[in-house]
Amino acid sequence: MGRPKERFRSLYRWCAVALTVLPQVGRAQADGLHVVRGLRGDSVIVSRGVIAALRGDTVRARPHRGPEVVYRAVPVSAVLAQAGSPLDSLRIGRTAWVVVAEAADDYRVVFSAAELEPGLGPTRAWLAYARADGPLSAEEGPYRLLVPTDTRPPRAAHRIVRLRVVAVGTGAR
């Protein structure tokens, strides 16, 4: 009879630990951006403070509906470099690389790695961490992806929680 009680106590302790640890994990992820890098899939959390300290700019964008808004943002390429995945390091071999920005609602935006490199083309992708007049709203944050060089807004996304660097092929013929 003592054995089921011990199992119950063990389960109770596990649940108590989970209930105290899980909210802290959620807070850590809400404060930072999850970046998954390369073939091994190792990941890094880049904190909001680190992102805000990167060299950025103000970016004007018009959300899908509504007036133009001014955001404080940093280039996606700078965030990737801070996380240990500089775009120029992705030119090794014949592997094709893409960067996938993932939102909390599972919406995904895909860029080729070369497209995000500032010297190679006209695409400018920014990660907004705040509005010029205050923080991002709950509907927009924790981060917002802005692509002001696109003529239509499908690659502008809100509630970005993860950047994933993915190899899509070997390029061999």
**Tens-digit pLDDT profile for residues 20-66:** 333 333 333 456 888 887 656 788 899 999 999 999 999 998 877 77
Question: What end-to-end distance do the CA atoms of the chain give, in Å?
Answer: 67
Q: Which residues pair with 101 in a beta bridge?
A: 109, 163
Domain total of the chain: 1
Q: Does a structural domain hold residue 3?
A: no
User: Domain containing 157 — which CATH number?
Assistant: 3.90.420.10
Question: What is the span of the domain harbouring residue 51?
Answer: 32-169
Predicted TM-score (pTM) of this structure: 0.76
**Given this model, what pLDDT does residue 152 score?**
83
Cis peptide before 142 (omega within 30 of 0): yes
**Given this model, what pLDDT does residue 38 score?**
67
Q: Does a structural domain hold residue 79?
A: yes
Would you write out the chain's pLDDT as a tens digit for each of its 173 residues? 455 555 444 433 333 333 333 333 333 345 688 888 765 678 889 999 999 999 999 999 887 777 899 999 999 999 998 988 877 766 666 677 889 999 999 999 999 888 888 888 788 999 999 999 999 999 999 999 999 988 888 899 999 999 999 888 755 44
Q: Does a structural domain hold residue 18?
A: no
Q: Does a structural domain hold residue 23?
A: no
Q: Does a structural domain hold residue 62?
A: yes
**Given this model, what pLDDT does residue 64 score?**
73
Q: Does a structural domain hold residue 10?
A: no
Q: Does a structural domain hold residue 154?
A: yes
Residue 170 CA to residue 153 CA, distance in Å, equals 31
Q: Does a structural domain hold residue 27?
A: no
